Every structure is written in C-alpha cells, then in structure tokens.
A and B are shown apart, each in its own frame.
Chain A
C-alpha cells in the first residue's frame, strides 16, 4: 500500500484542493490537516480552507498505521467524553478580556465530542472552558484549562527601500 500521487491545486486565496491516488484497489484515505486526522474515507480528494497566515499542511495515507510527521499545529482540538444529563456542550475562549462562546456541540449519544479552535496566535497561552448544559436547563461544572500553540511566527509585513546612494536596502 502506498500513495502513488499527491497533488495540491489552489482554488482560491485560502482554498486548496488535494488529490491523491493509491496503489490499493479500493483504498481508504486518511487525511491529516495540520497533523490532525480529519477524514477517513474512500474519496480521493479533499478541499482545505486555511485561515489568513496559515500554512498548508496536509498529509494523506492509505493505511491506518501511518502517521504524519510531527509539526507545529496552529489549532487545538479539544476532545471530551459525554456526561450524563447533558443536552449541549459549550466551548468558551477567554478572548479580548471576556469569555467568548465559540461552539455549542449538541449531545447526540456519541462516545466522544470535539471542537477545533480557530488558528491561534503563536506561543500565546489561551484559556478555554468546556461546560455541559443540562437537560434540566442548568449549566454544569466548568472544565477550564490553559493551552498554547507553538506553530511558528507569522510572516512579517515589511517594505523594502533601496538607496542608490548607499547601495543598501532597508527593511522596515
């Protein structure tokens, strides 16, 4: 088993289409975006949308055992298990000096739930909360934690000025 071809086609400013082929007759593709397994399917292509400043980092395998080369992710994936009596799970981010609701994930009987964050600032501790909202209409106990992504810095926005007099370029 092997991926025999893997191409990326830019569809728009932040959108890419990835196409893969496999040596397998009926392959299952394991798509990783930013090191995260985001899709397991027989479909040989995937559309990826990036946040501004985010780098394209997609890997695909046709076997479950292969894993991506560890990198520096710019997003967190927050997973949690179900709790009894929950109707919906709320994810908050402490953003701009306030707890900001980022997601409401309904309780649907799954064995695990997850939320992928926005593309986060590099090397910045961010506080998160996950709390279940009960079927009785009462908010549950808050699970709060701090995490950061070290994904590498953003590209700078600079201007170049060349002086014929000094023969030097100045980056500012």
Chain B
C-alpha cells in the first residue's frame, strides 16, 4: 500500500519563488527561482463533475495523461484508481484523515493520484475524474504576444532516495524549450528579476531523449534540485491557441524504474493575424481554411469578380491566434454575374407540403411549408410568399399573371403559410387553382426586385358554403322522460324580395316556393317526397324552349324590364341569362328542358341560390322537413327538375295543397 513520496511519487515537483524553504507560494508566475515552495507544481487539472463525498483528490501525476480516470470505492474504506484508458489498480484502504497514493493497475505504476479521505462516513460509489491539460501553469507559461524568452523554475524534491534520475524534453518541444538544472545553495537557487530575465551560470539542455537530457544522477531522500524551464519564441513564430510543453523525467527507486511527465499549455498570439478574410468560391463553397482571396485589418474589403460566374462569398474574422470564425447568414452572400457582368439571382427553393382545401363558407385555404435551412446557400433563402390564383378554371401562369397576394415570412427556421381568401369572393362549386411560391427580394440600385421559386405544380379546391345537413334530434329529461320538441318548422309564408319596388318576390312555405311578379304567380315549385304525384313545377305560363343568351346581372333573377307593356325577367347563372320570363305575355322560355337531367343540389335555405355553374331553386320538402333543390339551371340553360312540370289553368291549381 503506497504512501505519498514513495514509488511513482518519489520525485515530487514544487514551485519556486518562496521566501523560505518550503514556505507557501502558489503563484506560478512568481516561480522565478529562490526557495522551494510548499506548493506542488500541478500538470493536470482534475475536474470532478460528480465527486464522491468524503474524498478529495489533491494531485494527479502527469503520466496519467489526459482523459477520464475512475475512482471506485471497492468497499466502505477502500478505493481504487483506474487511469484514463488504463486498468483498475489495487484497492487502497484509507482511514478518515489519511492521504494515500492510488496507483493504476498492471504496469501503470506511473499513473497515480493523491487522495485524502475527509469523512468517516462509509465510502461508496464510482466517480469519473476528468484529467485535463492546464493553461498557464508553471510548465506552460503565460501566453506569448511577441517573440522572446520566458523562464520558470521548479524544484525536484526527492521524497525517497533515487538513482539514475534524468530529465528531458518531449520531442514536440524540440528547438523551442530548454531545461537547465541548478544545484541549490542553502536550499535556494538564483532568483531572476522577471520572467524574461535569463538565469546565469546554468547550462541549457535541449535533449529530447533520456540519454540526451539532463542527468540528475543519484539523490538521497530529502534532497532538492532546481530545474529551469526556458521558453524561447523566435521571430516569425506561428501563432497558436494551443502550445504544449511536455517534460519527461525518469528514475529508479527501490530497484524499480519509474517515468513521469510534467505538462502545461500556453498560447502564441500575433496581432498581425487579426484580420477580416474574404473568400470567394467559384460556384461552390470556398475553402475557409486556406488563404483568403482578400483580407484587411479593417473593413471595407474589395475584390474583383469575373463575369459569367457564380461567386460564393464568405467573410470571416481571424483572431491573434489564427482562429477563424464560423460563417452565418450575415456574413454569407452569393453574387451571380451574367456574361455582361450584371448581377443575377438564383431562385429560392419551392414550398413543400402544400395543401389547398375549401375552408369556411366561400373561402379556400392554402397551407405550405418552407425551410430556409435547406437552402444550399443561406443567402438564397426566401423572404416572402407569393400566390398565383385563378377562379375561372384556367391554370395560373406566374409568367404573365399578377400575384393574387403576397405574405412576408417571419425569418424563422421553418416558415409556415396558412392563407385563407376573403369570404364570399366565389360561388359554390367554383374551382380555385393556385400556385404558391416563395420569393426573395433584392435590391439593384434603388429598385427592389424579386426572384421566385420555379415550382409550377397547380393545387385546386372547390368552394363550399354549407356544412352537413340538419341533424335529427331526440330530447329527454335525463333518462326518465322524453321531450317532444316537434319538427324543424317549415318556412311560414316567408317573403324574399327580388325587386321590392315592383313587388317581385319569392314566397316560401311548407312544400312550396312561389315566384310572384307583382300580382301574377309565375310558378309554384311544390315538393313532398312522400307525395311524388303532387310534387312538381306548377305554372299557368306557357313553357317553351328556345335560345336564351346574353349577359345578365349577378342577381339570379334579373328584372330586365318592368314597364306597362314589357315586363320581362331573366333567370341567370353566374351572370349569364339562361331563361326568360315574359310576364306580359305569360310565357317562360328555357334554352333546354331536359326531363332526364338531375338537379344540381345545394343545402341553401334561400329560395334561389347561385352556384358557379348552376342556379338552384329551393323548396321545403314536406316529406323530410328540410329544404331541397327542386329545380336547377345550368350555365348552358338546361333546366332540370326534381319532379314533373305541370301546366295549370288557374293560379289556384298551382298553389293547391292537395
């Protein structure tokens, strides 16, 4: 069971700079000779994210290297150490208040930690100890900002007698570092005035092997030797944010050979490297690790660009250590030059996951997604949505059509479009077609221009106005009694004016919808699905077929003339005349009366309802207590009836309930 100061810890390294031998001095930058401090010089920083309670780790040998070691409580009072990438060491018993050396297993005798138990509570658990190289400790001095020398001094203290002790530099330090031993006089070595003042009378050694390093020889227990470390940075040095110093040492103790490491890090800064760097890639991302196409310590930077190329421009910053920034949207740009040197723009990506559907009464809804992150070039991302839309059955053509509407994007990572048109813009069954696109604005001179995605897929939706049919209901008082709530009341002589001035109106009642031209009944549409023989279009007018055409009004019943000698009405479909009602001569003329045609139905409860390609006449069906379509006309003037056409001699026959 090893104690500190033995085996792999027989040679201990301490800071210098103390006012007396073994006095406290912890400032690594003050380790400039003089007496040995009581503070050990640490190579590795020990980070303990989940430290075991009751244990402190005060030192780790540099030979552990960096990585994750593991402290394992093997019992209530024993702990083992597993070095990074190593094997589990022998469990060591530690009593409360004791400090012990925990050594790695197998041949890893140089990999150890010093652990102190601080509690009598039973030890338990496993802990990962992260071992990290250390910036600006005594082995890696303060950072360099210019060429020059820096010196530090430490003491080797031989806690046990050793033989064949050697100290040398790692090969990675070749030509940059140097070591010198100094034998203390009265426990002290010389003190230098500053970190850049060279110690005198010492012999510098730059050997990078045990054989070419410093031979410390045999040392008795308790002896000390000063060790100077020189960091030399010549002009023309290479700046770096990570410069390692690794010093090796070896010795024999109790006939066993040991080897240790002293480690540290520092940085080399060069203010001349603090630059803005402009890279230009010809049609591709430029290599940001190479030489910049243009650079300057301050903006602006200019760079000539050849015409007829796409230039991917990236501006990054570089600090004094040669570290370069990443890029972002604010630092990236693609400039596309045509053969004549003028600037072009590439389109953004098309929207994805597009859906189009009928929405609430008379509206359509367009939904789409766009992901700016998926743009190969971030500068190509879109800034707004643009919708091309038709309502006449034709296909939208972004090349010639004006945009129906545009919407700005929010600038997020996922742009979602949820667009609804204005209510009532279109008629039932009207087919709306849409091409949604993304677009990006750019400025040329003082003019704002746009470049759009090139997608041409057409989406469509049919306008709807009505939801499902009226539900039939049953009402009860909990589960005890039923409640008669009757049936849905039929319209009770409800009047809807076509032209109130001239007293032209619709009259709706249960089973009948009548069109009145002042005091003249034009027709009565009757409907009782339980009495098909009674149902039909009843009129005293002569019904004829003949060509009816011409533009009408948007009202389904157009009052074309209402004078003493000419009282003419038209039934229109979407603004076109398809039937003529001559009230003066008591005739109705349809383009075509098709007894085999089916009515185009709607759920409207108005007496007449305009659809995109039909006009429907509605009637209360006594047989199922709801409004149905009793007759419809197509835009071509074809009359379809749900029931028969009945010619009557009198208005009384037309309106008879039986």
Contact = CB atoms under 8 A, between A and B. Distances in A.
A108 B325 CA distance: 40
Interface residues of A, number: 44
Interface residues of B, number: 62
Contacts of B307: 167
A112 B317 contact: no
Contacts of B130: 37, 67
Interface in A1-54: 10, 12-13, 30, 37-38, 40, 53
A170 B301 CA distance: 6
A11 to B, nearest CB: 9
B455 interface: no
B267 A150 contact: yes
Contact of B300 (A10, A72, A166, A171): A171
A155 B327 CA distance: 5
B301 to A, nearest CB: 4
Contact of A150 (B49, B54, B319): B319
Contacts of A137: none
A153 B324 contact: yes
A150 B302 CA distance: 29
Nearest to A40: B128
Interface string A137-170: 0000000000000111111111010101011111
A110 B70 CA distance: 17
A158 B299 contact: yes
Interface stretch (B35-43, B330-338, B348-356, B395-403): B330-338
Given A40-B128, A111-B54, A169-B302, A154 B325 contact: yes
A97 interface: no
A170 B302 contact: yes
Contacts of A114: 47, 49
A170 B236 CA distance: 31
Contact of A164 (B320, B325, B326, B342): B342
Nearest to B299: A172
A81 B119 CA distance: 14
A130 B186 CA distance: 39
A82 to B, nearest CB: 8
Contacts of A30: 68
Contact of A79 (B48, B133, B276): B48
Nearest to A111: B51
A167 B84 contact: no
B303 interface: yes
Given A79-B47, A162-B335, A152 B315 contact: no
Contacts of B413: 10, 12-13
Contacts of A167: 304-307, 341
A114 B47 CA distance: 9
B171 interface: no
Contacts of A151: 323
B84 A153 contact: no
Nearest to A55: B326
B343 A122 contact: no
Given A64-B128, A81-B56, A153 B51 contact: no
B82 to A, nearest CB: 8
Contacts of B47: 37, 77, 79, 114
A136 interface: no
Among A37, A38, A158, the one with the most B-chain Cβ atoms within 10 Å of its Cβ is A158
Contacts, number: 146
A102 B176 CA distance: 40
Contact of A156 (B66, B86, B313, B330): B330
A123 B320 contact: yes
A153 B275 CA distance: 10
B97 interface: no
Contacts of A40: 50, 128
Contacts of B341: 164, 167
A36 B3 CA distance: 32
B191 to A, nearest CB: 25
A79 B66 CA distance: 18
Contacts of B323: 72, 122, 150-153
B53 A168 contact: no
Contacts of B303: 168-169, 171
B373 A72 contact: no
Nearest to A109: B53
B112 interface: no
Contact of B315 (A37, A72, A109, A171): A171
A170 B300 contact: yes
A168 B84 contact: no
Contacts of B212: none
A36 to B, nearest CB: 8
A162 B55 CA distance: 65
A157 B331 contact: yes
B391 to A, nearest CB: 38
B55 A67 contact: no
Interface string B373-400: 1000000000000000000000000000
B158 interface: no
Contact of A111 (B52, B85, B301): B52
A72 B100 CA distance: 35
A29 B538 CA distance: 85
B55 A168 contact: no
B335 A154 contact: no
Nearest to A61: B68
B326 A155 contact: yes
B612 interface: no
B318 interface: yes
Interface in A62-82: 64-67, 70, 72, 77, 79, 81
Nearest to A122: B319
A10 B373 contact: yes
Contacts of A64: 68, 70, 128
A162 B305 CA distance: 9
Given A112-B48, A160-B335, A162-B343, A172 B321 contact: no
Interface of B: 47-56, 66-68, 70, 84-86, 127-128, 130, 133, 241-242, 267, 269, 276, 278, 299-307, 311, 313, 315-321, 323-328, 330-331, 333, 335, 337, 341-343, 373, 412-413
Can you list the 9 inter-chain pairs with the closest CB atoms, starting with the nearest?
Answer: A111-B51, A112-B51, A152-B323, A157-B330, A172-B300, A153-B317, A112-B48, A65-B85, A160-B333
16 contacts: A10-B373, A37-B128, A67-B66, A72-B241, A109-B53, A110-B51, A123-B269, A153-B316, A154-B317, A156-B299, A156-B325, A158-B276, A169-B313, A170-B300, A171-B302, A171-B315
Given A37-B47, A55-B326, A123-B321, 17 more contacts: A37-B49, A64-B68, A65-B86, A70-B242, A79-B47, A81-B56, A112-B48, A153-B316, A153-B317, A153-B323, A155-B327, A156-B299, A156-B330, A156-B331, A158-B315, A167-B306, A167-B307
